[in-house]
Amino acid sequence: MKVSYSAQLMEESVFRHLNHLERSGYRSDYDEFHSLADPIYELPEDDREAAFEKVNRLFFLERLKLGDHVLRALEAVGLIPKRKRTVRKSALVQKTEVAEIESPEELSEEADTEQAGAEGEAIESEEGVTAVAEMEEDDDELEQNDEVSYDLAREFEERIKEVVVKRGINKVDEGSNVLNRVSGNPIIEMRVLASRFSNPEEAQELDAFLIHEFMHAKDMVDPEFDYEDAFIPGNPSVKNLITARFKLLWNMYVDSRLARMGVVSVQPKESRYREFDNFYRKIPDKQRKGIFEGLWQTEKLTHEELLSMATDLDTLMSKYVDPGDMAEDEKDFIHLQGSPCPLCKFPTYNWVDDPESICDEMVIEAIQIDFPDWESRDGGCDRCIEVYELRAGVG
Amino acid sequence: MPEVYNWQLGRMATYVYDEKHPKEQFTFVFNTNRCIACQTCTMAHKSTWTFSKGQEYMWWNNVETKPYGGYPQFWDWKILKMLEQSNPGQNVWNVRKTSNKAIHGVYEGVTIFEAPAKIGLNQQAIGYVPTDEEWRFPNFGEDTAHGREFTQSREGTFGGDNGTRSVLPEHKIWFFYLQRICNHCTYPGCLAACPRKAIYKRQEDGIVLIDQSRCRGYKKCVEQCPYKKPMFRGTTRISEKCIACYPRIEGLDPLTEGDQMETRCMAACVGKIRLQGLVKIGSNGEWAHDPDNPQYYLIRDRKVALPLYPQLGTEPNGYYVPSRHVPRAYSQQMFGPGVDHSIDQYMVPDRDLLGVLQLFRTTQRIIFKWKREPGPKIFETNIHGKKFEMYNDTVIGFNRKGKEIIRVTVEEPFYVRPEEHPGAI
């Protein structure tokens, strides 16, 4: 597996990181960078681009070790086996770490790496345009933590052709994707904001983001997850709703596994619950909590199962709610946010759950003239109820 | 650090370099009451200077809607917040200390150059480098008003709180357009920040320029200009900024046969909101008393035109007539404590002020001197309880040599089409 970084990402990340160090009073890397970069302006214009890329690559990979965030994230999710590598921590980070009390997890992670006071090992780069970090194979230095997970990680490492890390344009653009998945030579593409590399004291957020996204990518190349590009039938608002639920459920699946591995992800469990709560607010409290806990504890899910649960509430509930806990007809009358109103058929987030309890009898009768099979328990959107109130002459 | 005199703050202030002044200073006045955000000024500069590779995102001139717009996004909110955080609750004006040397009172807070010492930051000024996202969408927030929702009162009228209508001239629901170019400050943040000393202020006209051969792309100018007008060009890895169309200022455009010209963005203004000029600086570094110069008249004499965020401490040379309808507190934060006086003057202008206002965009040539010839009275009314009388005076503008370059009346002339050609233009 190759890990490569786009020139734009390296340039912007190096600039922001060095800028932060300089503003914090740590000038040595900043001065060194400019001692190498400033003379490039004297070169002919056509020669400058390659020269700048070389300097940026040097600082991104070797001086500032910014590429290590990506490698550590790949190791954390099991896409590559853990390996020892030299670490050069900036003076700013060292100063911060001395002030903090290290947790046992940090101590065990640090045991995997060698802290070097001098420069880190140079990583051979093969290509002139983008930086390439070849994974060093040194059997004597391999971390022998678990034979099974090591073998699995090696399998992924060998199957995936390349990991390409690019600069994200904005927060929405950030994320991971797998290209050439069907052809059998998958390439993981990761887009990340360069500003995430600015502050070494906020590295945990960067690491959490990378780990979370690489876990998604891993699922996409994992035959057990069985990812497939799916066609979601229905009008655009239905598609959007199902896609949003699917994203939430997949994010939960990723974060729950990371939590069990003891790895920090982008959102903690409580935060995911609030998100889940928002989508499935209409499910009674007890069942809703039970579904969330059930999902969170599930060790294995497939793409099809996630999509099926996102599409159909029944599938979700039958998997995690005991049949005795809720009557069938109770389930039928759960009005999820974004579900279509039975009267106008438009998706609605403003439900009137039981109009009979708040409206005049004439309103119910007016609805049933147009919809003979409709019952109050079916509910309706607030706009439809208002229309029928007017028609009934009580609005 | 050296101390320099900042007339907008009414006191000595910290700056990186010793006090020095050009012979003349490039200044401009924007009347925000007249702007319609047609963006002709923006396109004028774009088609003249920033149409090349690497400059696609650059808008040396931009027009943003306040309060929600900004280019880059939230630029003023961010710098004001940084200033406040460095000196919480203390960045205030003392208007009791108004004097000849402190015409708007004294600013008793910290400037961007004084703030680093307060917070132990080893930089020339506080600031930040905007992200790519912040540079995007220069029209973000355009035409988005601030204010409470209209509510219908029991009487069926619409208004703000509890159906109360706005008390004019302030509106309860408001926005306005803020036009911005480089202010060519007297104490530029960009110049102070550059570790290569690649930025300089021209002796002849105070225009601030980046030496393209010296710049090495450190982006300190981008970081420490509070107005965010230096911009980094990714293709050349060199920073660029508004150059005040200095060839035109020098009179090199053949169109005017040697007469000094206003910039492209000024000349293109459809709404006639802009007037640009050059003010003389005396040997003591202060503006030479010159009320015949329309710039001096509007800025120092009548104090109708106010600096943009003077509290930042760079002594910007771009001045604004505040919008009448905007809540005063907002305008005061933006233009300083002179807002009430400015709007009082502008709302009910006397003959001289009304005359000078007619000169805006009558010519591309820089007006160095103006004069008013009296005309007949043509109109009278009351504006917010004050009597307003309008005379059809003639206002004349002169170039540097004293030659008349424009003549205009207060009232636009009517042309009556002759009866024998009713359909003709």
**What is residue B280's three-state secondary structure?**
strand
Percentage of chain B modeled with pLDDT above 90: 87
How far off is chain B from A170, nearest CA to CA, in Å? 6
pLDDT tens track for A311-337: 888 888 888 877 776 666 666 667 777
Which has the closest alpha carbon to B309: B5, B8, B103, B3?
A: B8
pLDDT at B139: 94
pLDDT at B156: 45
Confidence tier at B425 by pLDDT (50, 70, 90): low
Confidence tier at A85 by pLDDT (50, 70, 90): low
Cβ burial, residue B88 (10 Å; 0-12/13-18/19+) = exposed
Contact B133 A169 (CB under 8 A): yes
Strands B3-6 and B106-107, how do they pair? unpaired
User: Taking 90 as the threshold, does the pLDDT of residue A27 lie above it?
Assistant: yes
Contact B131 A25 (CB under 8 A): no
Interchain CB contact of A235 with B (< 8 Å): no
Q: Average pLDDT for residues B130-138, to the nearest whole number?
A: 94
Q: State how far the Cα of B343 lies from the Cα of B352, in Å rounded to an integer.
A: 16
Chain A residues closer than 8 Å to B132 by CB: 12, 169-170, 194
Chain A residues closer than 8 Å to B237 by CB: 41, 48, 52
Q: State how far the Cα of B425 lies from the Cα of A282, in Å rounded to an integer.
A: 70
Q: Average pLDDT for residues B221-245, to the nearest whole number?
A: 98
Q: Average pLDDT for residues B92-108, to the nearest whole number?
A: 93
Nearest CA in chain B to A36: B216
Which has the closest alpha carbon to A375: A346, A351, A343?
A: A343
Chain B residues closer than 8 Å to A38 by CB: 216
Q: State how far the Cα of B341 lies from the Cα of B332, in Å rounded to an integer.
A: 11
Chain B residues closer than 8 Å to A23 by CB: 121-123
Q: Do the beta carbons of residue A75 and residue A149 sit within 8 Å?
A: no
Give the length of chain B.
425
For the question of an ipTM over 0.85, the answer is yes
pLDDT tens track for A45-64: 999 999 999 999 999 999 99
Interface test with A, best of B119, B126, B128, B133 (most A CBs within 10 A): B133
How far off is chain A from B155, nearest CA to CA, in Å? 21
Domain topology for B3-151+171-346: Alpha-Beta Plaits (3.30.70)
Contact B133 A15 (CB under 8 A): no
Residue that the structure tokens 């809720």 belong to: A326
Q: State how far the Cα of A41 lies from the Cα of B327, in Å rounded to an integer.
A: 50
Contact A16 B129 (CB under 8 A): yes
Q: State how far the Cα of A318 lies from the Cα of A315, in Å rounded to an integer.
A: 5
Count CB pairs under 8 A between chains A and B: 30
Cβ burial, residue A10 (10 Å; 0-12/13-18/19+) = buried
User: Taking 70 as the threshold, does the pLDDT of residue A146 lie above it?
Assistant: no
Select the more confidently predicted residue: A269 or B171. A269
Interchain CB contact of A25 with B (< 8 Å): yes
Task: Out of B129, B133, B218, name the one closest to residue A170 (CB).
Answer: B133
Cα separation values, A243 from A232, A234, A247, A248, A308, Å: 8, 12, 6, 9, 11
Interchain CB contact of B214 with A (< 8 Å): no
Residue that the structure tokens 């230096």 belong to: B230
How far off is chain B from A23, nearest CA to CA, in Å? 7
Sign of the four-CA dihedral A379, A382, A383, A385 = positive
Interchain CB contact of B131 with A (< 8 Å): yes
Contact A19 B219 (CB under 8 A): yes
Give the length of chain A.
395
Cβ burial, residue A209 (10 Å; 0-12/13-18/19+) = buried
Return the C-alpha torsion angle B233, B235, B237, B243, nearest 10. Answer: -40
Q: What are residue A345's phi and psi, to 5 degrees?
A: 70, 0
Chain B residues closer than 8 Å to A21 by CB: none
Nearest CA in chain B to A17: B129
Interface test with B, best of A9, A34, A55, A192 (most B CBs within 10 A): A34
Q: Do the beta carbons of residue A313 and residue A331 sit within 8 Å?
A: yes
* Residues ≥6 apart with Cβ < 8 Å to B391: B351, B374, B375, B376, B377, B378, B410
User: Taking 60 as the threshold, does the pLDDT of residue A229 lie above it?
Assistant: yes
Structure tokens that stand for A22 in this block: 């300089």
How far off is chain A from B2, nearest CA to CA, in Å? 22
Contact B219 A16 (CB under 8 A): no
User: Taking 80 as the threshold, does the pLDDT of residue A106 lie above it?
Assistant: no
DSSP tag of A26: -
Which has the closest alpha carbon to B49: B190, B301, B231?
A: B231
Interchain CB contact of B237 with A (< 8 Å): yes
Q: State how far the Cα of B295 lies from the Cα of B281, in Å rounded to an integer.
A: 13
Contact A19 B223 (CB under 8 A): yes
Cα–chain-centroid distance for residue B134? 22
* Residues ≥6 apart with Cβ < 8 Å to B397: B294, B359, B362, B363, B365, B367, B369, B370, B404, B405, B406, B407
How far off is chain B from A97, nearest CA to CA, in Å? 21
Which has the closest alpha carbon to B86: B65, B105, B109, B54?
A: B109
Q: State how far the Cα of A165 lies from the Cα of A161, in Å rounded to an integer.
A: 13
Task: Name the residue ranges covered by the structural domains of chain B.
Answer: 3-151+171-346, 351-409
Chain B residues closer than 8 Å to A55 by CB: none
pLDDT tens track for B4-53: 999 999 999 999 999 999 999 999 999 999 999 999 999 999 999 999 99
Interchain CB contact of A171 with B (< 8 Å): yes
User: Taking 80 as the threshold, does the pLDDT of residue B155 lie above it?
Assistant: no
Interchain CB contact of B122 with A (< 8 Å): yes
Interchain CB contact of A169 with B (< 8 Å): yes
Task: Name the residue ranges covered by the structural domains of chain A.
Answer: 2-201, 236-331, 340-391
Chain A residues closer than 8 Å to B211 by CB: none
